[in-house]
Amino acid sequence: MATLDLRPLSLGELLDRTFFLYRRHFLLFVGIAAIPYFFFFVVNLGTALIPYIAHVAASDRIQTPSVTTVTAGGGLLALLAVFVGGVAFLFSTGATVYAVSEIYTGRQISIGESLRRVRGKTGIIFGVLFLSGLIMIAGFIALIIPGIYLLCRICVATPAALLEDLGPSDSIRRSFDLTRNFAGRAFMIYLLYIAMIWGVVAVFQFPFMFLLAVSAKQLQFRILLTVLTQLGNFIGSVLVAPVSTIGFALFYYDLRVRKEAFDLQMMMQAIGADPMPPPITGGVPSMFGRDAS
């Protein structure tokens, strides 16, 4: 597999390369996201269908648990959904970072290998996200802008933790060091990610939610729309989830190239080995945000 050319990237090139990797390895990244999010989908769908199941049972005069029992059951499923979603996020984030790292250095990796590499690392990822959450809360309490700024400064903590084998606090400090003077780029990646989320909601969920709100009178039709809404949520989550992780993993490498001559380190490691395959640039360099010089 050809390696990506190691050089400082402009903002436009960074975003272009993010989508280039996503398109080129679409099944890999979507597969990583789909496996854990499938369990979230099942639990979320079950939670959404509980009121309809209770209604059908009551209308058919079937002996059913009380409303309190049904509500309690729904609450337990909601807690389970939060837990499963959290674990899914840890695995999908870590596996995507490892996949990008292998692709970046010219190696191949499968979905299974990516997920297996996360085993034993979920605690570190959770620690990074927990500390990041505390920092973000402190920033947003101060005011919105400091919270956004801090979010942009800790954006490469997870890649640093996984790829450099750092602890949660060390990876946070590492992210602050790497992103100094480059928080604006992180903000643009977040902005792109948010725009994609809204686009996915508009395409995969909003039509069904709208019909559910204004025109669904028959119970069977409401159930169908509820299932389609949750299915749209699943598809949208799987499609969007890898984008920000790929972008920030590439951003991590770009910062190391800029500040630590990571490209020269890779070249030195290749001395005496087989020649590296010709690089691929990931698309035509973009004029947007050209600040590589």
pLDDT digits (tens, 9 = 90+) for 234-246: 898 889 989 999 9
Residue whose entry in the numeric block shows the structure tokens 């973000």: 136
Nearest by Cα to 246 from 53, 97, 49: 97
Distance CA 59, CA 288 (A): 60
Say which residues have a Cβ less than 8 Å from residue 222's Cβ, sequence separation at least 6.
Answer: 52, 212, 216
The answer to whether residues 1 and 107 touch, using CB atoms and an 8 Å cutoff, is yes
Residue 187 pLDDT > 90, yes or no? yes
pLDDT of residue 145: 84
The answer to whether residues 7 and 211 touch, using CB atoms and an 8 Å cutoff, is no
Burial grade of 41 (CB within 10 A; 0-12, 13-18, 19 or more): buried
Pick from 46-55, 181-190, 216-225, 260-269: least confident: 260-269
Residue 59 pLDDT > 50, yes or no? yes
Higher pLDDT, 143 or 242: 242
Pick from 42-51, 115-124, 157-166: least confident: 42-51
Q: What percent of the chain has pLDDT over 90?
A: 36
> pTM for the whole thing?
0.79
Higher pLDDT, 183 or 290: 183
pLDDT digits (tens, 9 = 90+) for 234-282: 898 889 989 999 999 999 999 998 888 765 666 555 554 444 444 444 4
- The secondary structure of the chain, three-state, reads CCCECCCCCCHHHHHHHHHHHHHHCHHHHHHHHHHHHHHHHHHHHHHHHHHHHHHHHHHCCCCCCCHHHHHHHHHHHHHHHHHHHHHHHHHHHHHHHHHHHHHHCCCCCCHHHHHHHHCCCHHHHHHHHHHHHHHHHHHHHHCHHHHHHHHHHCCCHHHHHHHCCCCHHHHHHHHHHHCCCCHHHHHHHHHHHHHHHHHHHHHHHHHHHHHHHHCCCCHHHHHHHHHHHHHHHHHHHHHHHHHHHHHHHHHHHHHHHHHHCHHHHHHHHHCCCCCCCCCECCCCCCCCCCCCC
Distance CA 190, CA 151 (A): 9
